[in-house]
Chains A and B, each alone.
Chain A
Amino acid sequence: MDYLENAEEAAFRMGVRAWLAENAPKDWRARYPTEDDLARLHREWQRTLYDGGYVGLSWPVDYGGRGLSATYEAILNDELGKADTPRISFHNYLGRAIFTYGTEAQKQRFLPPMLRGEIQWCQGFSEPGAGSDLASLRTSAVLDGDHYVVNGQKMWTSGAQHADWCILLVRTDRDAPKHKGITCLLAPVNQPGITVRPIHISDGSPETCEMFFDDVRVPVTQRIGDPGAGWRIAMTVLAFERGPADVGLIATFQTALAKLETYAEERAIDRDPQIRQAIARTYVIGEVLRLNVVEQLSLRNAGRPPGPDGSVARLLLTQAEQALRSLEFRLRAADAVSGRAPDVLANYLRSRTISIFGGTSEIQKNILAGQVLGLPR
């Protein structure tokens, strides 16, 4: 075990930091106020990072990556979080499906432009009747010559209004057991038969989308993996989605907590024992999450793909973010109610959705109980 970065890693971190100081967009929240502006910014930023050599660090060189260990991705994400840059695209987890299960032609077609930020993705998994019970999804795809014809509805397809492509789970075999009859397709979002509608959350912001499919034709060449392999592909994708290291959460968590500590100090409420304890507890949860990230990273470097214990990370991430944002809301309630600090409410609401999106905490606990602890169903 070694809790310190080696010389190359430390040098890489310094390099990233210096590069970000030069290249990271400044004051971007004010300069890109609308959803559309932000979507444009994300593309530009992804391209800037790519040109700087910072996209696809752990991806194979053949597909536009740099072939480094996962530690470098984590260091990059950490520095991105510290520098408070715009978020980067989902290539690390949606790309994983194409990388792991795609044909050589599909990899060549999709991976390089994905890393360059030219293709933005959304995830068409959930449906009105298929949330926690994802395998009961009903959107159908029927083979017609060399095309699938897709009909149905997808929910919570975040980013669909700005996405170019959608990774879709569809039912291709009604007679197979529910986990076996699912197939994975890739479909361009802007094509006849697809309607995207934004879904607003309770603070009024267009947080996510739903998509309607009406006789949408998808070439068979855009199927990932074999017919019926969709469930396994989805589980791979979701396992990667769960990782807190992939989103640079540790750094944003630490930055936000430090800001709250300063806030409490400035307003002289840092002597209140209740607040001191709440800050201390939040700090501890963040530290535990950080250690989990380091451990998962070591396992990934040792060649082990993420498995069911990714649910531990997901639960810790949820706890940490919810503790942090509850604390922020508690300290800054007056600013939130008066509308002086609209971020406080938005952060709080978003933190409450983390225990739902990408697999509810209840499902994560079921996975741990069944697949890690081996308890009977």
Chain B
Amino acid sequence: MDLAFDDTQAAIKDSCERLFARHAGPARARDLRRDNGCDRALVQALEGDGFADLFGADGAGPLTAALVVEWAGEAAALAPIGNRLLVAPALLAETPPTMVAVADADRLDAVRFAADADLLIVIDGDEVRVAARGDFAAVPVKSKFGYPFAQVSDVRGTPLAPGSGAVARRWRQVAIAAEIAGTARAALDLTTRYLRERLQFGKAIATFQAVQHRIAELHVSVDSAEWAVREAAWHHARADLAAAAALTACEAAQRAFQETHQLTGAMGFTIEYDLHLWTMRLQALRHEGGGPRAHARDLVRARWKENG
């Protein structure tokens, strides 16, 4: 066993960091949010550099794809990168289009990225339907959760093979977990910097033990989410691991929201401060796909079945 990045992963990390420095980041996210938009150019750049299709690539695979999804979340990238890099390649034989949205049939009233999607994947129990742009209607809704959402209706599209529903749900759990892990990491890092810089009582508030313990516990929580998502991706979204990764990540998301906002004080709640660019998304990700309750049920179901 070796949990260190291999040479390919390290090289991809370097390239991605440069790419995200150009195409993502807080300022870019703010620009895009102003018009309720998202970042097609970023996904195209990933496609151009070959990072969008790591899932089935020799020498890479789902784990490396999941790492890119984490780093994109960390960089506040505003694009359906988890859907494009993890969910779509697990379901489709052909190369997916640039912008992919994933929805549950019973939760079509607020679907992330649907208004900009070239392809919509709808999970309905055991079944999955895929609809190209034009084969579904998407009306943008006003939402304050850091992503563009749209209300979806009139989905036509074509069904995939029976049993695709479970595959789609598992990979989506991995994708959500990877997005949360990266997003929470960024919120943690920003808060750690704040604690070092903010002076009260004549010293950095980072020197207070009550503060140190809180940020240390959050660090453990975010690390846990990372470990869980990487193992699940490496094992090709095995049902129990995927659900466990999503559940762990949801718990990290909740802790990250509450702790980073407590520790950055009133400043952290303002719109000028960047923290909300990540934390509001954590709230959206935490509730996607039925949220922690659904992930916990999936986990129990997977473990019972395999043990019984």
Contacts and interface: CB of A to CB of B under 8 A. Distances in A.
Chains A and B form a bound pair: yes
Interface of A: 126, 129-133, 136, 155-156, 199-204, 207-208, 272, 274, 329-330, 333-334, 336-340, 342, 345, 349, 352-353, 355-357, 360-362, 365
Contact of A136 (B200, B262, B279): B200
A356 B265 contact: yes
Interface string B173-208: 000000000000000000000000001111001001
A356 B266 contact: yes
Contacts of B284: 337
B67 interface: no
A339 B141 CA distance: 7
B200 A133 contact: yes
B293 interface: yes
18 contacts: A132-B201, A133-B202, A136-B202, A155-B266, A199-B270, A200-B270, A200-B271, A202-B275, A202-B276, A204-B144, A274-B293, A336-B145, A337-B149, A337-B284, A339-B144, A352-B261, A355-B262, A362-B211
**A203, A207, A339: most-surrounded residue (chain B CB, <10 A):** A339
A356 B262 contact: yes
A358 to B, nearest CB: 11
A148 B168 CA distance: 69
Contacts of B120: none
Contacts of B271: 200-202, 204
B266 A357 contact: yes
A327 to B, nearest CB: 13
A260 B150 CA distance: 27
Contacts of B286: 333
A208 B286 CA distance: 28
Task: Please name the 9 residue pairs, one residue from A and one from B, whose CB atoms are nearest each other, closest first.
Answer: A202-B276, A338-B110, A333-B287, A133-B200, A200-B271, A338-B109, A337-B110, A339-B142, A203-B144
Contacts of A357: 266
Interface of B: 107, 109-110, 141-145, 149, 151, 199-202, 205, 208, 210-211, 257-258, 261-262, 265-266, 269-272, 275-276, 279-280, 283-284, 286-287, 291, 293
B190 to A, nearest CB: 13
Nearest to A366: B210
A133 B266 CA distance: 13
B266 A156 contact: yes
Given A202-B276, A274-B293, A337 B266 contact: no
B262 A338 contact: no
A18 to B, nearest CB: 40
Contacts of A201: 269-271
Contacts of A334: 107, 109-110, 287
A156 B270 CA distance: 11
Given A200-B271, A202-B276, A339 B143 contact: yes
Contacts of A136: 200-202
A361 B110 contact: no
A131 B199 CA distance: 10
Contacts of A204: 144, 271
Nearest to A274: B293
B266 A353 contact: yes
A328 to B, nearest CB: 13
B287 A131 contact: no
A136 to B, nearest CB: 7
A355 B268 CA distance: 13
Nearest to A322: B258
Contacts of B208: 362
A338 B149 contact: yes
Nearest to B147: A337
A351 to B, nearest CB: 10
A338 B288 CA distance: 12
Contacts of B109: 334, 338, 340
Nearest to A357: B266
Nearest to B288: A337
Nearest to A128: B267
A277 B190 CA distance: 34
B289 to A, nearest CB: 11
Contacts of B258: 352
Nearest to B210: A362
Nearest to B200: A133
A202 B272 CA distance: 8
Contacts of A131: 200, 265-266
B214 to A, nearest CB: 9
Nearest to A334: B107
Contacts of A362: 208, 210-211
A179 B271 CA distance: 32
Contacts of A352: 257-258, 261-262, 269
B262 A202 contact: no
A334 B286 CA distance: 11
A79 B267 CA distance: 34
Nearest to A201: B269
B200 A361 contact: no
A144 B172 CA distance: 68
Given A136-B201, A355-B262, 4 more contacts: A131-B266, A199-B272, A204-B144, A334-B107
A234 to B, nearest CB: 16
Contacts of B151: 338
Contacts of B142: 339
A355 B210 CA distance: 14
Contacts of B293: 272, 274
Contact of B291 (A130, A133, A333, A342): A333
